[in-house]
């Protein structure tokens, strides 16, 4: 991790929903950080010192289980806030890890500054609250899916979610990450991908996946 070039003060969650007068303060208090692919941005269990905003790149937000198992709870996109789970009432420890899955630039602000920003910018608070509500809904939907849907349906859901995030029918992801995101194992993902390929719902070249029929994929979810 090293410092990186400046962000445009216009892209991230913080800048987008702060009043114009506050942007100068943001500019003073932000810090740019660069993470290479596979570098850890923050680690589950370590103390929360600040909040991150993804300026460029891709990040997976995940929970560890033992030495070699994980669950990916979210893929963060440009502009997204990272580390906000630490704002809860308990001890201030990150409850998830964040890892760059490609070279990534983030803006960082100390917790105190972010909390000041919330006080100064009502619409930032409001948006953050909405964001929490949305994430909570999504987490609970996923919980229900884990309990009641089979792997193939969860994989279909994951593929559609990834397509939505990338705003494209084509995207790149490792099978391992796809497994961790679908709440299953590599082997099971491998087999189910084969099935989707055979059914001509997707094509796969290495890590690149292309959705051929969003519609048919969606049928697996309902």
Residues at the contact surface with DNA, assessed by CB under 7 A = 37-38, 150-152, 174-176, 183-188, 190-191, 194, 206-207
d(CA 114, CA 117): 5
Q: How far is the CB of 83 from DNA (least distance, A)?
A: 23
> Rounded to whole angstroms, how far apart are CA atoms 57 and 69?
24
Q: How many of the chain's residues bind a copy of itself (CB under 8 A)?
A: 41
Interface pattern 51-80 for a copy of itself (x via CB under 8 A)? ------------x-xx--x-x-x-------
Of all helices (H) and strands (E), which one includes residue 65?
strand 59-65
Helix axes 111-120, 122-148, angle to 10 degrees: 110
| Nearest CB to a copy of itself, comparing residues 17 and 34 | 17
Partner from a copy of itself, DNA, none contacting 134, C-beta within 5 to 8 A by type: a copy of itself
User: Which stretches of 30-109 are DSSP H helices?
Assistant: none
Mark the segment that binds a copy of itself (CB under 8 A) among 106-114, 122-130, 168-176, 195-203.
122-130
Q: Which long-range contacts (CB under 8 A, 24 or more apart) does 5-12 make?
A: 5/32, 5/105, 6/32, 7/32, 7/53, 7/55, 7/105, 7/107, 11/55, 11/78, 11/79, 12/53, 12/54, 12/55, 12/79, 12/80, 12/81, 12/107
- Select the binding partner of residue 88 from a copy of itself, DNA, none (C-beta < 5 to 8 A, by kind): a copy of itself
Determine, following the binding rule CB under 8 A, whether residue 45 of this chain makes contact with a copy of itself: no
* Interacting residues toward a copy of itself by CB under 8 A: 63, 65-66, 69, 71, 73, 84-90, 95-96, 118-119, 122, 125-126, 128-137, 139-144, 146-148, 183-184
């Amino acid at each position: 991790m090293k410092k990186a070039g400046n962000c445009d003060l216009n892209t991230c969650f913080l800048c987008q929903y702060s009043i114009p007068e506050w942007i100068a303060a943001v500019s003073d208090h932000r810090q740019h950080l660069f993470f290479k692919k596979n570098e850890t941005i923050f680690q589950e269990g370590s103390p929360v010192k600040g909040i991150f905003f993804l300026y460029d790149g891709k990040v997976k937000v995940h929970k560890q289980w033992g030495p070699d198992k994980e669950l990916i709870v979210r893929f963060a996109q440009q502009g997204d806030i990272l580390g906000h789970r630490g704002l809860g009432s308990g001890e201030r420890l990150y409850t998830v890890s964040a890892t760059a899955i490609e070279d990534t630039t983030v803006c960082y602000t100390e917790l105190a500054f972010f909390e000041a920003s919330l006080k100064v910018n009502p619409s930032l608070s409001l948006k953050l609250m909405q964001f929490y509500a949305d994430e909570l809904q999504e987490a609970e939907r996923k919980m229900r899916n884990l309990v009641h849907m089979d792997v193939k349906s969860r994989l279909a859901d994951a593929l559609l979610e990834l397509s939505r995030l990338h705003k494209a029918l084509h995207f790149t992801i490792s099978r391992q990450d796809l497994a961790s995101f679908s709440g299953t194992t590599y082997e099971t993902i491998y087999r189910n991908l084969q099935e989707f390929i055979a059914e001509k719902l997707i094509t796969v070249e290495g890590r690149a996946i292309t959705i051929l029929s969003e519609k048919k994929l969606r049928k697996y979810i309902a």
